[in-house]
């Protein structure tokens, strides 16, 4: 995976919402209302990057409930990448190294009952 084009309202940082992807599902507001907001056209965006362990957990929670996989992680922190893989969201990482891509594929296969 490579970086997608972020919606312009996202604050700078590792988490972002992909431009033009949003269906205004509202789900991020259930998990991380202080980290997301909606533009006037209804497109959600990251208004603040997580700055504590609790907020990081909330952000990861938002990725787990999101519709249509618009929220992405472009950082290269392996701990965050492994956390996302663990909840089945490895595909949302733009820069997974090869070993973690393999792990992500295994976890996805496990979660979908293919193994
Ligand atoms: S999770 Fe996706 S579809 Fe839902 S509000 Fe956010 S960007 Fe839009």
Give alpha helix (H) positions in 1-115: 28-31, 53-65, 78-86, 98-111
What is the reported pLDDT for 111?
84
How close is the Cα of 49 to the center of ligand 1, in Å? Answer: 16
- Over residues 41-72, the pLDDT tens digits come to 999 999 999 999 999 999 999 999 998 999 99
Vertex 83, ends 80 and 86: CA angle to 5°? Answer: 150
71 pocket-lining for ligand 1 (C-beta < 6 Å) = yes
Q: Specify the pairing of strand 36-38 against strand 44-46.
A: antiparallel
56 pocket-lining for ligand 1 (C-beta < 6 Å) = no
What is the reported pLDDT for 42?
92
Task: Tell me the CATH class for 15-111.
Answer: alpha beta
How close is the Cα of 21 to the center of ligand 1, in Å? Answer: 8
- Over residues 85-94, the pLDDT tens digits come to 999 999 999 9
How close is the Cα of 24 to the center of ligand 1, in Å? Answer: 5
- Over residues 4-43, the pLDDT tens digits come to 999 999 999 999 999 999 888 889 989 999 999 999 999 9
């Amino acid at each position: 995976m490579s970086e997608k084009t972020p919606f312009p309202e996202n604050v700078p940082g590792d988490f972002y919402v992909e431009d033009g992807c949003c269906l205004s599902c509202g789900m991020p507001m259930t998990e991380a209302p202080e980290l997301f907001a909606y533009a006037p056209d209804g497109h959600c965006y990251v208004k603040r990057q997580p700055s504590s362990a609790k907020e990081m957990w909330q952000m990861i929670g938002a990725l787990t409930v999101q519709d249509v996989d618009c929220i992405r992680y472009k950082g290269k922190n392996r701990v965050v990448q492994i956390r996302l893989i663990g909840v089945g969201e490895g595909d949302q990482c733009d820069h997974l190294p090869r070993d973690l891509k393999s792990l992500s594929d295994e976890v996805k296969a496990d979660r979908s009952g293919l193994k």
